[in-house]
Amino acid sequence: MHSNGKKVSCATCHTSDPRNQGKTRANKLIEPMATIANPQRFTDAAKVEKWFGRNCKDVLERVCTAQEKGDYIQYLISVK
Ligand code: HEC
């Protein structure tokens, strides 16, 4: 649970299936996170860091650890 009382998770925007397109709170389309569905993912280190920074703070109210970021990317490139 978030300190603002709302339940947020990565899946709130990115959906629970990373092969699907997601949506922001403003209803803007987010391309799939899994590299099988979106080969552009994780090709730009600055972009990856920028969004981990924003989204981890948004969801977890802290930065993600290198371990967490590694696990997340590992998972998304392993989805078939
Ligand atoms: C409020 C909506 C929202 C939530 C919640 C959210 N994200 Fe995102 N995320 C976005 C948007 C918008 C983008 C940028 C648009 C894009 O890359 O398609 C993005 C992009 C990313 C990227 C960049 C991928 C790349 O192409 O380099 C990563 C990594 C990421 N999110 C991880 C996470 C993780 C991990 C969580 C949970 C801790 C999370 N996001 C939660 C909206 C969200």
- Looking at ligand 1, which atom is closest to the CA of residue 44? 27
CA distance 75 to 56: 17
Q: Say what percent of the chain tops pLDDT 90.
A: 90
Contact in structure between 7 and 1 (CB atoms under 8 Å)? yes
How confident is residue 1, by pLDDT bands cut at 50, 70 and 90? low
CA distance 37 to 60: 26
Taking CB atoms and a 6 Å cutoff, what residues make up the pocket around ligand 1?
8, 10, 12-14, 24-25, 30-31, 41-42, 44, 47-48, 51-52, 55-56, 58-60, 72
Average pLDDT value for residue range 37-59? 97
Average pLDDT value for residue range 43-63? 97
Give 54 or 4, the one with higher predicted confidence: 54
Cα 21–chain centre separation: 12
Contact in structure between 79 and 19 (CB atoms under 8 Å)? yes
Average pLDDT value for residue range 69-75? 97
